[in-house]
Amino acid sequence: MKLDLINLSKKFGNHKVIDDVSIEFKGGKIYGLVGRNGSGKSVLLKLICGFYAPTSGKILLNGVDFSSENSFPKNTRALIEKPNFLPDLTGYENLLLLASIQNKIGKDEILNVMMKLNMVQEIDKKFSKYSLGTKQKLGIAQVLMEDPDVMIFDEPFNGVEKETAKDVRNILLEEKKKGKIIIIATHIKDDIDLLADTVYEIEDGKLKKISIQK
């Protein structure tokens, strides 16, 4: 499993948000991405997911260039910025609706991931009634539930209680062992220290390696 960003740039008007970024993400690794607000973190993640088309450069997943077609990369799931679901459906119903798009999983897998994230009490509660932390957990659940090869998280533990955050970290470490590519953008030092094999900093659209943890 390999994800390559090759001379990747993104402009909005005359403003270059991502500036000639080249990086290789390998399976079985967790990558930390840090940077101040407005540095380009979320834009970079959206480019990887195919939400934006690059102004120049390529994104290859296992050698296949999906960025030229502005398509979503196969078997990739992401939580970027605030999770957004249908407010009048329960958390479980929202996940069931998403799962019906590809029909890769059923009710058991959805219930299992919600239980892992300590969401048993919220299964039948409408999304509009969820707290900030519970909304975040539902966003994490939709990334995990279909067992994707590439997992992308943008500030995943925002508002999540400590015990569940610990459980999620353990889940991600297990997913790493399966050969998954996991990218986490965060400002929380513990997330980086406990999870990341390699850490990159983005500043003014440019990416640089700042440390190798493991």
**Calculated CA dihedral for residues 211, 51, 152, 198, nearest 10 degrees:** -10
pLDDT higher than threshold 70 for residue 213:
no
pLDDT higher than threshold 80 for residue 68:
no
* 117 in a structural domain: no
pLDDT tier at 70, thresholds 50, 70, 90 = low
Q: Supply the pLDDT for residue 5.
A: 96
CB count in 10 Å sphere of residue 24: 10
* 77 in a structural domain: yes
Comparing 43 with 213, which gets the higher pLDDT? 43
State how many domains the chain has. Answer: 1
* 30 in a structural domain: yes
* 185 in a structural domain: yes
* 70 in a structural domain: yes
Q: What is the CATH number of the domain that holds 150?
A: 3.40.50.300
Can you list the alpha helix ranges (DSSP code H) found in 129-161?
132-144
| CB neighbour list of residue 203: distance below 8 Å, 6 or more residues apart | 35, 36, 39
Average pLDDT over residues 77-88: 92
pTM (2 d.p.): 0.93
